[in-house]
Every structure is written in C-alpha cells, then in structure tokens.
C-alpha cells in the first residue's frame, strides 16, 4: 500500500491544478462577467413582472 501514496499525491495535485487553472480562466474574461451581470438584471426584471400583483389585477380590469 505505501507504494501507491506517491501516485495518489500526484493525482490529487493534478486535480487541484486543473481546478485552479479553470477558476483563473473564468475570472480572466471581463466580457463574460459583464454578460452574466446583464442576464441577471434581465431575470430580475422578468421576476418582478411575473410576481407583480398589480399588473395581474390591471389586466383583469382592462378586460371589463
């Protein structure tokens, strides 16, 4: 069993390096962050429209 320890450590190191490299690549692109922020704003606006009780009531009274 002790023979496998270096290989286990090497595998853990390679996994850690891949995770760090992936996080650096995603943090390096400011355009992607800007697009994500815009999409979040759009989703929040749509949520406000869907959950707005006054808008639903106005639609009912407009049909009268």
Q: Which two tokens stand for residue 4?
A: 């496998």
Residue 42, CB-side half-sphere exposure with 13 Å CA sphere: 6
- Contact in structure between 64 and 57 (CB atoms under 8 Å): no
Tell me the whole-structure pTM to 2 decimals. 0.44
pLDDT at 4: 72
Compute the distance between CA of residue 10 and CA of residue 4 in angstroms, rounded to an integer: 10
Give the residue numbers spanning the domain of 44: 2-62
The structural domain count of the chain equals 1
pLDDT at 13: 87
Torsion sign (Cα): 22, 27, 33, 37 = positive
- Residue-wise pLDDT tens digits, 19-49: 887 766 665 677 888 888 899 998 888 888 7
pLDDT at 48: 80
pLDDT at 60: 67
Q: Which two tokens stand for residue 59?
A: 């639609």
Residue 11 has pLDDT above 70, yes or no: yes
């Amino acid at each position: 069993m002790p023979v496998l320890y270096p290989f286990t450590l090497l595998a853990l190191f390679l996994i850690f390096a891949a995770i760090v490299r992936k996080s650096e690549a995603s943090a390096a692109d400011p355009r992607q962050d800007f697009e994500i922020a815009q999409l979040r704003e759009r989703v929040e606006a749509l949520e406000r429209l869907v959950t707005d009780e006054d808008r639903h009531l106005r639609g009912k009274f407009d049909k009268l």
